[in-house]
Amino acid sequence: MTQRKAGALVWEPPVLEIEGKSYPLRRLGVLDVDRLLGIAKRISQFVDRKVMGDIGKFTAEQAGSFLIDYLPDAFDEILTFLGSLIGLDPGLSEEVVEHKRKKSKAAEFKDPNIGTMRDPETFPLDALPALIAKLTEHRNVVDFFTAKDAMVSGLRRLFGGLKESSTESKPATDGPTSTSPEDD
C-alpha cells in the first residue's frame, strides 16, 4: 500500500462544533474546485480585476477571507457549498420563502428554513466564520494550495509556457517592416 493510500485511510476530517453538535467536514474533490470557480465567476461581476487576478496566488487563509468578504455577492452559492461540507441543508432564499408564504394560508405556513443553515437556532452567526476557519485548516485545502504552484508549473511546461505579451515598438520602428506582407 502506498503512503498516499494509507493517508486516505487514516485521515480524520476537521470537525466543526455548533451548539454541542459535531459536524465533520467531508473530503474535498475536483467537483469542489468547479463549485468554487463558479462562485469566483459570479463574484467577478462585483470585484475589480486585480482581486480576481490574484486568486491564483491566494493562500488557504486568503481564500477563506475572500469567501467572507464577497459573501453578499454570491450568498446562496457560498451557503450551498459550505452546507455541503458539513452535511447541513443550506435552506431557501428569502425570495423563495416569501413566495411559499404568499401561496399558503397564513395559519398553515411553516418556515421551510427551520433546521437549516439559515436557522439561527441550528447555525448561529458565529458558526459561519468558524466553518470557514475549519475549511482553511482542511487537509485537502492545504494540500491543494501547497500543490497549486507545482500544477501551474506543470501546465506551463505542458502548454509551452505562458506567452509574455509583446512590448510596444519604438516610434522609429512603428509600421510595416521588410518582412511584413505587402498591402495592395
Cell 457549498 appears where? 81
pTM here?
0.65
pLDDT one-digit tens code per residue, 82-124: 999 999 999 998 899 999 888 887 778 889 999 999 999 999 9
* Distance from C-alpha of 48 to C-alpha of 4, rounded to nearest angstrom: 39
pLDDT tens track for 22-44: 999 999 888 888 888 788 777 77
pLDDT higher than 50, residue 142 = yes
Distance CA 45, CA 43 (A): 5
141-154 mean pLDDT: 73
What's the rounded Cα separation, in Å, for the pair 22 and 12? 13
